[in-house]
Amino acid sequence: MFFRNLTLFRFPTTMAFDELETQLGEHPLKPVGPLELSSRGFVPPMGRDAEALTHRVADTIWLTVGGEDKLLPGAVVNDLLARKLAQIEQQEGRKPGGRTRKRLKEDLVHELLPRAFVRPTRTDALLDLEHGICIVDTASRKSAESVVSEIRHALGSFPALPLNAEVAPRSILTGWIAGEPLPDGLSLGDECELKDAAERGAIVKCQRHDLACEEIGKHLDAGKQVTRLALTLDDHVSFVLGEDLVLRKFKLLDGAVDQLESTERDDVRAEMDARFALMAGEAKRLFTILESALRLSKLDA
């Protein structure tokens, strides 16, 4: 398993997670009820056949929030509502008021929910106890906050906060693409997004592009700033760093994956364990580099 997007939060390194397995066990994923739209809870990160709700390698813990969501398309509800409203208007010779429309819609939703299809979901998270970092495998801030909220609910207290930089990230990203030296190990990729500083200004997106070319330089001269930038860490990791401090398109490259292929393993669990350890190690190494380069704020003591 490899995370594809990294949304990061800081939490105090003084926190203890000795009872984490028990605490998560009190909040497992339950099947979504007949009249519920969704359900959330913890599931085994190693898959359905596993029992443990956490998987730990050294000072890194892997956990997973599972979900079940009812699929109830708004178009279906609105179509049935329109038919009922038309029927009432025909029978009574008047258009139903707002309260009637609202009540009819609620009745329709309750009528359809028990028959709606259920879509299972899972969102993985990594707790780096050494650096006090929670990494959620999503590019959606809302989804990441939801996972942190589930952890907080299970633990009773989990003071995790989104990353914050002391200097505007876009100024640092713009400097890197303009020729300023990158941190050791980092190099430019072939993708970027540039925005005009003015509100509702122009946006330029480049993919599979030489970022050191004259064309990019002209955009910088015109005042555009970099809001997303593809980077590579050694030959191990590639990713797109955004000014929102989310790492998208996170991918382990051959330089890292070759380490997996050099060791034979007897079962799927051992393979997953090795993959998690590798991914966690690269993510932690990358964080330490970006923490200094982006001047990420520390939590208050």
pLDDT along the chain (301 residues), means of 10: 92 93 95 89 90 92 95 83 83 81 83 86 96 96 96 95 93 92 92 84 85 84 91 93 96 78 66 88 93 87 46
pLDDT at position 1? 63
pLDDT at position 13? 92
pLDDT at position 3? 94
DSSP string, the chain: ---S-BEEEE--TT---TTHHHHHHTSB--PPPTT-SEEEEEE-TT-TT---SEEEETTEEEEEEEEEEEE--HHHHHHHHHHHHHHHHHHHSS---HHHHHHHHHHHHHHHGGGSEEEEEEEEEEEETTTTEEEES-S-HHHHHHHHHHHHHHHS----EE--BSS-HHHHHHHHHHTPPPPTTEEEEEEEEEE-SSTT--EEEEES--TTSHHHHHHHHTT-EEEEEEEEETTTEEEEEETTS-EEEEEE-HHHHHHHHTS--SSHHHHHHHHHHHHHHHHHHHHHHHHHHTTBPPPP-
Residue the block writes with tokens 């970027």: 192
The structural domains of the chain, with segments of one domain joined by +, span 74-114, 169-293
pLDDT at position 301? 46
